[in-house]
Amino acid sequence: MHELAITRSMLDQVLASAREHGAARVTGIRLAVGEAAGVVPDCVRFYFDQMKQGTCAAEARLQFRTAELRLRCPKCGAEFARLEDLCSCNAGADVVSGQELTVESIEIE
């Protein structure tokens, strides 16, 4: 259900940017969604299709790019894609990417 608030925030950001640039229409939005972001793209798309009605983004297409989970050992700097692959340093892991939810680009007219 948090996708409702996420989608509202994303759409508000997009509409504010469109106004700032004097756009008449938003035709496309590209989002980067991390594998570990806990966001379901189909839910975002569902809410977006409802919320965009009556706005300058009413005909916008929503595209998603999946950002891979990347972890880094804080001791040796080795990078991994899964917790199961951690190095032998036993120093844990820092998240490098894969938790983000970012508006990467907005297409406007």
CATH number of the domain within which 29 lies? 3.30.2320.50
Residue 81 within any structural domain of the chain: no
Residue 48 within any structural domain of the chain: yes
Q: How high is the pLDDT of residue 9?
A: 96
Mean pLDDT of the chain: 94
Q: Taking residues 74-86, what's their average pLDDT?
A: 89
Residue 36 within any structural domain of the chain: yes
Predicted TM-score (pTM) of this structure:
0.84
Which residues are CB-contacts of 56 (< 8 A; sequence separation ≥ 6)?
15, 18, 23, 24, 25, 26
Residue 1 banded pLDDT, cuts 50, 70, 90:
low
Residue 101 within any structural domain of the chain: yes
The domain of 55 spans 2-68+97-108
Residue 59 within any structural domain of the chain: yes
Question: Tokens 């229409």 belong to which residue?
Answer: 25
- Read off the pLDDT of residues 11-43 as tens digits, 9 standing for 90 and up: 999 999 999 999 999 999 999 999 999 999 999
Residue 10 within any structural domain of the chain: yes
Residue 13 within any structural domain of the chain: yes
H-helix or E-strand containing 47?
helix 41-51
Q: Give percent of the chain above pLDDT 90.
A: 87
Residue 85 within any structural domain of the chain: no
- 57 and 29 in contact (C-beta within 8 Å)? yes
Q: Which residues of 15-34 are buried (b: 16+ CB within 10 A; e: fewer)?
A: beebeeeebeebeebebbbb
Number of domains making up the chain:
1
